[in-house]
Amino acid sequence: MPVERRQRKEGGAGKREKAGGPDIVPVIGEQAPGALARELLAAAEALEAASQAPAPAGVASYDVRVRIRDGDTPVFGPGRLTLLRAIEATGSISAAARRMGMSYRRAWLLVEAMNHEFREPLVTRHIGGVSGGGAQLTPFAQNLTAHYDTLIKEIRLLLDAHVPTFDAYLKGSKAVDPDEG
């Protein structure tokens, strides 16, 4: 019997007890469309920013956030890539969610969305068993992430070639003015 039904039957009315008190189980559709994606993207960007050393004053730098869209709908970007990498590293959606600081439910909904947005599933799940189940990326997902990584590397190479030009425009820069000469 699913946990939610079991809890309601036992008188929990859809609540789960946590160390800090009861936590109401969210219902699908309560969150505004796109809010979850924005929240996950912000978490992924914060992780990326934390891993980079800040550029000193007078030295130009840039941010790259590429999101792949299907029409107007974003279907892949830094947040989903981070989730897939966490699933690949941990072998579990729940462990990946914990690693990213998000709920299992949110991670599961993102995986479900990705599996439906692409022509082939990105994540396969193994339910139960002696080892307690798990998840893994499909070869299709591994190819998708490799192509996305290649795209980002190529964009960064292009931007790296132009950053010195922008250094010269910054206050306190010691670079040669590109407009002179």
Domain of 120: which CATH number? Answer: 1.10.10.10
Least confident window among 56-65, 128-137, 151-160: 56-65
Mean pLDDT value of segment 133-139: 92
In a domain, 102, yes or no: yes
Half-sphere exposure of 22 (CA within 13 A, CB side): 8
Domain span holding position 75: 35-44+67-165
CA 33 to chain centroid, in Å, comes to 16
Q: Which residues contact 134 (CB under 8 A, 6 or more apart)?
A: 91, 92, 125, 126
Mean pLDDT value of segment 75-92: 95
Please, what is the average pLDDT of the chain?
A: 76
pTM of the model: 0.64
Domain total of the chain: 1
Residue 45's closest CA among 97, 80, 9, 71? 80
Beta strands in the chain (DSSP E): 15-18, 21-24, 68-70, 73-76, 123-126, 134-137
In a domain, 159, yes or no: yes
In a domain, 52, yes or no: no
In a domain, 128, yes or no: yes
CA 127 to chain centroid, in Å, comes to 23
